[in-house]
Structure 1
Amino acid sequence: MQVRINRKACLALTLGLAASASFANLVKVAQVNPASAASGACGEWTGYRRFVERFVQADGRVIDYSTPTQQTTSEGQSYGLFFALVANDRATFDRLLAWTRTNLADNQFDAQNMRLPSWQWGRKPDGSFGVLDPNSASDSDLWIAYDLLQAGRLWKDPTYTQLGQALATQIARQEMTSLPGVGPMLLPGPQGFKVGGVTRLNPSYLPLPVLRALAHEQPNGPWAKLAESAYKLIKTTAPQGFSPDWAAWQNGQFVVDPKNGDTGSYDAIRVYLWAGLTSSADPLAKPWLAALGGMRTKVAQTGIPPEKVSSTSGTASGEGPLSYWGALAPYFKALGDERGLGLARTHLAALDANVPGREPVYYDRVLGLFGTGFIDGRYRFDEAGRLVPGWRNTCD
């Protein structure tokens, strides 16, 4: 089995329809015109519509065309589910869920029979398509559980809720460990991340609003304590205010990851995004943001986010792509940094520009949707981590 260790630009369609009776009740794989998506939001969400048209196949598979294997990841499916929920696009949500169940969970995705989805699917060396790595990705699993729980609440369908509860339970059972003196901690996946006394960790796998929502739904689970442990990880591994892509736990303390070092780049950029999305009423919101102040300072100095930065020294290099601006827009908004937010808006305007010969980039589109959707008021998270989409409000 391969071990999933780095998704730099590895994020994310072919059939997959649900077979079980319980799941079939909510799968309405139907004829849907992507142009009609987001009809329940306050005005058309053009960015989402273009994302569906470009990256979501008719059967519900999200595809990253930039990869040689034309891969789909559980993360791509999880983000697609979230955006469909924000857009009130239930038809696309159900297609995404059906494909995920059939192809990533081998049809074992029911409340009584819940399998963690494989993280990577695509073209194999022999030309066929299927699972490339059966290991699961805990952050994607968290987001899928969250999407299902929020869909059950917002669309008033207990079938989603039961699936989300079952998935969250399996995450707690298979993708968690305990760090002495810290508390429960999320492993990046069930296999391959605890080797020889070293436990490898990924700070970007721990979005605080998602943990809060799971704690609300499963008060007897590890989620509230995990939020506290996650803050300790973020604060300790960002001594210069920059998060690394990966970190490790060894000999009773957080240390630099022995495999990937202290670099913060394409994974770590999401740490700032999740911090920016957190409700200001959350007691960890301000200290979490304060622990990540290096990025704000660097952009104020140079006008650009660095592509790579050393989390231990603060040494930076390169210029981050559009995806970075998508991640940082909510971060600047949460900090009240109007200049940084203005820079982000200016750069993100390029996402909607049709440039001949330029293909849309998957990661730019995904983080761009997170960022622009938030700063434009299409969604927010409340203090309990629950999703508050714009379509739930009165639209003037």
Structure 2
Amino acid sequence: EGQSYALFFALVAGDRKAYARILSWTERNLCAGDITARLPAWLWGRLPRDRKHPEERWGVLDGNNATDADMWIAYSLMEAARLWGVPEYAQKASAILAMLSRLVRRIERLGPVLLPGSSGFENAAGMRTVNPSYLPTFLLRRFADADPFWAPVAAACNRLLVRCSANGYAPDWATFNADGLHMLGEKDVGSFDAIRVYLWLGMLSRQDSSRNQLVRQFYPMVRRTQTQGYVPLKVNMATLAATGEGPIGFSACMLQLLTDVKWADLIRMKMRSTLMRPQTYYQNCLIMFAQGFDDGAFSFGVNGELKLRR
């Protein structure tokens, strides 16, 4: 995730050297040296010491992939190839999408949906678990523009957003059974993952055919946020009971969906005064996406293409 977001921000900044360094590190350390043959491992960290290796070592802790990161990497490679004229990046993007296509599963009543990773998200009984925040519509639109295979995936994922958010609140995770029924659990929540659903929706092109429906779908969360004056940290999907007050990064994710102009301006002021610290990596990323879009540094076209400020 960190690598994928960093690649995107380097692309937006036009920093080709940083982009190349990030890509090289990712490929070398998370893809066993070849991103066209292996999707990046999602978890990197300090390896345990043992008798053979008493020294400090770093490496892959979990080799499973995370498809949201894979999608962002593929997207950034596609757009870097287009904007910078680097054919090698386009070839890498195509290889990643080919590997991701093997993780698409047909869910009854929804259609073809991309799983969150290679393992751990489906079972023999036909249960599939998905993460709605892993499926930004504009990324799928861009993939579909390059390869028709992804068009029905984009449509199915938008249906998924509506089906698993029946009460107007996005969940962190959602499970569907073999009949395509959403298996809502009493402990299902919308929190640190789900907040990105609102962020991605706010950045979706106003000409996108699904935008109005999705904005209406998630208006209950917008209304609640504006009424109580803050974004809830956690919402129980079964009861809609909310607990805690979300940090400024959560507010930043809601910015483009707010109808209260004064509150939106207050969020802008808070975003600009928030210090970026290493300990708040995730919040930093949310703010960088929200502020970069709000400032016009980047936007997404109706086909998902990246538009940069000239």
- Checking the alignment, whether the CA contact within 8 Å between 1:240 and 1:312 is kept in structure 2 is no
Q: How far apart, in 2, do the equivalents of 1:317 and 1:196 lie?
A: 35
- Determine the structure 2 residue equivalent to 1:44: none
Report 1:241-320 matches (<5 A). Answer: 241-256=168-183, 261-320=187-246
Aligned residue number for residue 18 of structure 1: none
Q: Indicate the residue corresponding to 1:50 in structure 2.
A: none
User: May I ask how many residue pairs the two structures share in their alignment?
Assistant: 303
Instruction: Report deviation, 1:326.
Output: 2.4
4+ residue stretches of structure 1 with deviation over 3 A? none
Which amino acid in 1 is paired with 2:46?
R
The 3 A distance-change label for structure 1 pair 182 and 239 is: closer
1:91 aligns with 17
Q: CA deviation at 1:311?
A: 2.5
Residues 152-171 of structure 1: pairs in structure 2 closer than 5 A:
152-171=81-100
Residue ranges of structure 2 left out of the alignment (5+ in a row): 50-55
Correspondence for 1:237: 164
Structure 1 residues 217 and 337, CA gap change in structure 2 (3 angstroms): farther
Q: Provide TM-score, normalisation by structure 2.
A: 0.93
- Output aligned runs, 1:20-39, within 5 Å: none
Which runs of 5 or more residues in structure 1 are unaligned? 1-74
What whole-Å deviation, never above 9, does each CA across 1:197-246 have from its counterpart, x for those lacking one?
22111110100000000001112x1x211121111111111122110000
What is the distance in 2 between the residues matched to 1:359 and 1:96? 17
Q: 1:117-266, aligned counterparts within 5 Å?
A: 117-126=40-49, 127-173=56-102, 175-197=103-125, 198-219=127-148, 221=149, 223-256=150-183, 261-266=187-192
> Distance in 2 between the 1:109 and 1:218 partners?
20
Mapped to 2, the partners of 1:206 and 1:257 lie a distance apart of: 19
Which amino acid in structure 1 is aligned with residue 115 of structure 2?
Answer: L
- Aligned partners of 1:330, 1:254: CA distance in 2, in Å? 31
Distance of 1:156 and 1:122 partners within structure 2: 34
State the Cα RMSD in Å. 1.7
Taking the aligned partners of 2:137 and 2:275, their CA distance within structure 1 comes to 29
Contact 1:381 1:388 survives alignment (8 Å): yes
Q: Deviations over 1:319-354 (max 9, x none)?
A: 00122122222333xxx542442232132123248x
1:180 is displaced (CA, Å) by: 2.1
Normalising to structure 1: TM-score of the pair? 0.73
8 Å contact from structure 1 (residues 119, 133) kept in 2: yes
CA contact (8 A) 1:239 1:311 kept: no
Whether the 8 Å contact between 2:167 and 2:220 is mirrored in structure 1 is yes
C-alpha distance 256-319 of structure 1, shift in aligned 2 (>3 A): farther
Q: Deviations over 1:271-299 (max 9, x none)?
A: 00110110000101111121111221111
Identical aligned residues as a percent: 38
Secondary structure at 2:8 match in 1? helix
Q: Does 2:257 match 1:331?
A: yes
Give the aligned residue type for 2:283: D
Partners of 1:340 and 1:248 in 2: CA distance: 35
Q: Which amino acid aligns with 1:177?
A: R
Greater relative contact order structure (CA < 8 Å, 6+ sep):
1
User: 1:152 deviation in Å?
Assistant: 0.3
User: Shift of residue 317 of structure 1?
Assistant: 1.1
SS of equivalent to 1:194: coil
Report the 3-state secondary structure (helix = DSSP H, G, I; strand = E; otherwise coil) of the residue aligned with 1:307.
strand
In the alignment, the residues of structure 1 paired with residue 128 and residue 234 of structure 2 have an alpha-carbon distance, to the nearest angstrom, of 23
Q: 1:224 to 1:340 in 2, by over 3 A?
A: farther
Distance in 2, matches of 1:272 and 1:366, equals 14
Shift of 1:257: 5.6
Classify the secondary structure of the residue corresponding to 2:182: strand
Question: Quick check: 2:184–2:238 contact (8 Å CA) kept in 1?
Answer: no
For residues 40-119 of structure 1, the aligned pairs below 5 Å read 75-110=1-36, 114-119=37-42
Distance 1:236 1:80 in 2: 31
